[in-house]
Amino acid sequence: MSPKTASNNQQSSIRVLYAEDSPIDADLTMSHFMYEAPEFTIDIAGTGEEFLRRLKEGSYDVLLLDYRLPDMDGIELLKELTALGVKLPIVMVTGTGDEELVVKILRFGTSDYVPKDANYLKTLPAILKNAVSDYRARQERGQSLATLRYHILYIEHSPFDLDLTTCHFAEAAPHMTLEGMDSAEQALNRLRGAHDFDLVLMDLRMPDIPGLEFMHRIKQLGINLPVIIITGKGDEETAVATLRLGAYDYIVKRDNYLTQLPYAIENAIARFQLNNANTRLHSELVELNTSLEEKVVLRTAELQQALERLINAVGTTIQVMVSAVETRDPYTAGHQIRSAGLARSIAEEMGLPQEKIDGIHMAGSIHDIGKLSIPAEILSKPTRLTELEFSLIKEHSRKGYEILKDVESPWPLAEIVYQHHERMNGSGYPRNLKGDEVIMEARIMAVADVVEAMASHRPYRPGLGIDAALHEIEKNRGTHYDNAVADACLRLFREKGYQLVQA
Residue numbers at the binding site for Fe ion (CB under 5 A): 368
> Which DSSP helix (H) or strand (E) runs through 79?
helix 74-83
Q: Which is nearer to Fe ion, 198 or 368 (CB)?
A: 368
* CB closer to Fe ion, 242 vs 339: 339
Beta bridge partners of 93: 66, 114
Question: What is the separation, in whole angstroms, between the first and last Cα of the chain?
Answer: 110
Closest distance of CB 420 from Fe ion, Å: 6
Q: Least distance from C-beta 337 to Fe ion, angstroms?
A: 14
Q: How far is the CB of 374 from Fe ion (least distance, A)?
A: 11
CB contact burial 448-457 (16+ within 10 A = b; e otherwise): bbbbbbbbbe
Q: Which is nearer to Fe ion, 234 or 430 (CB)?
A: 430
Please identify, using beta-carbon distances, which residue of 368 and 482 lies nearer to Fe ion.
368
Nearer to Fe ion, 249 or 368 (CB): 368
In whole angstroms, what separates CA 261 from the centre of its chain?
Answer: 39
Q: How far is the CB of 415 from Fe ion (least distance, A)?
A: 14
Nearer to Fe ion, 112 or 329 (CB): 329
Nearer to Fe ion, 367 or 477 (CB): 367
Ranked by CB distance to Fe ion, the top (closest) residue is 368
Min separation Cβ 329 and Fe ion, Å: 12
Q: Shortest CA distance to 417 belongs to which of 295, 321, 346, 294? A: 321
Rounded to the nearest whole angstrom, what is the least distance from the CB of residue 492 to Fe ion in the complex?
21
| Beta carbons within 10 angstroms of residue 427's beta carbon | 12
| Residue number, 138 or 398, with CB nearest to Fe ion | 398
To Fe ion, the closest distance from the beta carbon of 320 in angstroms equals 19
Least distance (Å) between residue 369 CB and Fe ion: 9
At residue 462, the 3 state secondary structure works out as coil
Distance (Å, rounded) from C-alpha 411 to C-alpha 367?
13
19: Cα within 13 Å, side-chain hemisphere: 32
Residue 153 near residue 181, CB atoms below 8 Å:
yes
Q: Which residues have CB under 8 Å from 293's CB, separation 6+?
A: none
For the beta sheet containing 112-115, the strands, ordered from the edge strand earlier in sequence to the opposite edge, are 5-6, 40-45, 14-19, 62-66, 90-94, 112-115
> What whole-number distance in Å separates Cα of residue 250 and Cα of residue 267?
13
